Chain A
Amino acid sequence: MTHAIAQLAAVVATALFIFALYWMNDPKTARRGVYAGVAGMLVAVLATWIQPEIVHHDWIVLAIAAGFVVGVPLSRVPLTAVPQRTALSHAFGGLAAGLVGTAEYYLWLRAGPEHFTTFRMVALVAEVILGFLTFTGSLMAAGKLQEVRWIPQRPVTYPGQNVVNLGVLGAAVVLGGALVLHPTAAWAGNLFPAVMGLALLFGVLLIIPIGGADMPTVISILNSYAGLSAVAMGFVLDNRLLVTAGALDGSSGLILSIIMCRAMNRSFTNVLFGAFGTVRKATAVAEQKEWKQETAEGAAQLLDQARLVVIIPGYGMAVAQAQHKVRELYDQLTKRGVTVKFAIHPVAGRMPGHMNVLLAEANIPYSALVEMDDINPEMPQCDVALVIGANDVVNPAARTVKGSPIYGMPIIDADKARTVLAIKRSKNPGFAGIDNELYVQDNTWMLFGDAKAVIGDLVKQFASGGLH
């Protein structure tokens, strides 16, 4: 009876999860998706909990309570910290899969070697390798995003890095293969920790050469891995619900990875093994020309006289927490009849959709947020392009400089606007270490400083009534 309930619950939960994702197709229905997801999860947990084989409830209650104690504060982080929270949750997902795989292996090794079919062992080894590499890889990514002191922000590369990385992964796979062939051999119980260790090590090595600009892609790939490790767990435990839910997560990560890669004109392998950002560019165009600096007063006048202003936000806006000041500027400009649009590059920020969430937080209506492909045809009619802490995504070198590491990457055509105002924290090149010709164009004016402070100054110009 309880078994039939579990089967029914799995079907219901799967349907609810599919609806949850389906409702995400529109911001109007999206919250319904959350409720469907919660309902599906409740059904699945309760149907499992009432199964007769579960006899110890004390630890379950304790673990669930601890999950709430940690989970609730984690859901209240500032939205600028959402990328690292996401990476951290991929780490937890990987950890859970790895630990359950480990527990099942030793359980069956002790009592029940008849469970070790080849199919199940392949799934178990895949679960453990994927789970643990996702765990350390995501922890490293979260650490880089949080700018933890002992994790280097810049990509770390050394000669033979790819050989070392692939060697470690290869060793894990070979040892895992030995476990598949001889799961109950005398040495198998000791070999298992070696596979775990190699997977944990590979996760760290995989993320060391990754720079900030690649984080949106890497987070998406780790998302996919976390989903696949849940699928593998489903194969091990013979549980269809794990397979369906894991597959939904895995395919979501896959699609996001593909979109992110396309937005950077790069391949998966190039992201994971290419160590973007370490490549110092060859061109020296920018060095021949000088920046032109503009005052807050002058910039405000330019904005005031514009009909169409396109704001192009980047990671710098997130770092400076400038989104609320941007909203004030948006209000001042729209009040004066200026049309303001936001141009969102798919890889702006540190995770997919990062800019949209920050601007939504600041109450900017989502009808003002425009995708790169839709805004680019409008850029020649744009009077002022205001670049806030974005760099690579507006760098014209992507179109013209063949030797540049970002060559071929689709960009927002800020350079085609009549005037460009660019807010930049420092005079150094951006994260990828690439010079940006946009900043020295004839029609570009620079505003140096913290994005929040600079936009605050602009707003003051409008608010003080100096302009009309």
Chain B
Amino acid sequence: MTDYWSMLFVFVLATFIGLGVIRRVSRLLYTPLMSLTNAISAIAVVGSLVVAGADYPRMIRILGAVALFASMTNIVSGFLITDRMLKMFKKQ
């Protein structure tokens, strides 16, 4: 059986770490921050991978493949555009 309590524990701690770290993010960088966290939350890709690739019925795998496509799009465009924006920030 899954240990649900430890999952909730992880969730609460990760949220507090997130709040602590995000609070320190430079105000200049809120737009790239949003595209970066967007790419990171496309970690849904690991769920989609299993659904698309395991030995499941065809219909289920189609849903998984579409989800995988959506997550991959976010990963690729999210990281690339974040880096593109960050390159532009120059002090002088």
**Chain A residues in contact with chain B, CB under 8 A?**
13-14, 17-18, 20-22, 24-28, 30-31, 33-34, 37-38, 40-41, 44-45, 48-49, 51, 53-57, 59-60, 62-64, 66-68, 70-72, 74-77, 79, 82, 85-86, 89-90, 92-93, 95-97, 99-100, 102-104, 106-107, 110, 117, 119-120, 219-220, 223, 226-227, 230-231, 233-235, 237-256, 346, 351-354, 356-357, 360-361, 363, 365-367, 369, 371
Contact = CB atoms under 8 A, between A and B. Distances in A.
Given A75-B76, A254-B19, A357-B32, A100 B84 contact: no
Most buried by B among A247, A354, A361: A247
A96 B7 contact: no
Contacts of B15: 247, 250-251
A71 B18 CA distance: 26
The contact size tier of chain B is 35 or more
Contacts of A99: 48, 63-64, 66-67, 70
Interface string B39-68: 111111111111111111101110111111
A336 to B, nearest CB: 19
B22 A255 contact: yes
Given A86-B35, A248-B37, A255-B23, A67 B73 contact: yes
Contacts of A223: 34, 37-38
A154 B25 CA distance: 33
Contacts, number: 367
Contacts of A256: 22, 30, 33-34
Contacts of B33: 21, 24, 252, 256, 352-353
Contacts of B72: 63-64, 66-68, 71
A242 B36 contact: no
A80 B67 CA distance: 28
Nearest to A30: B86
Contacts of A352: 30-31, 33-34
A250 to B, nearest CB: 7
Contact of A71 (B63, B76, B83): B76
A44 B46 contact: yes
30 contacts: A21-B18, A21-B40, A27-B89, A28-B91, A34-B83, A37-B79, A41-B75, A51-B50, A55-B53, A59-B61, A59-B65, A67-B72, A68-B76, A82-B35, A85-B81, A93-B44, A96-B45, A96-B67, A96-B68, A97-B44, A100-B64, A231-B11, A234-B7, A245-B43, A248-B37, A255-B19, A256-B30, A353-B27, A360-B88, A366-B89
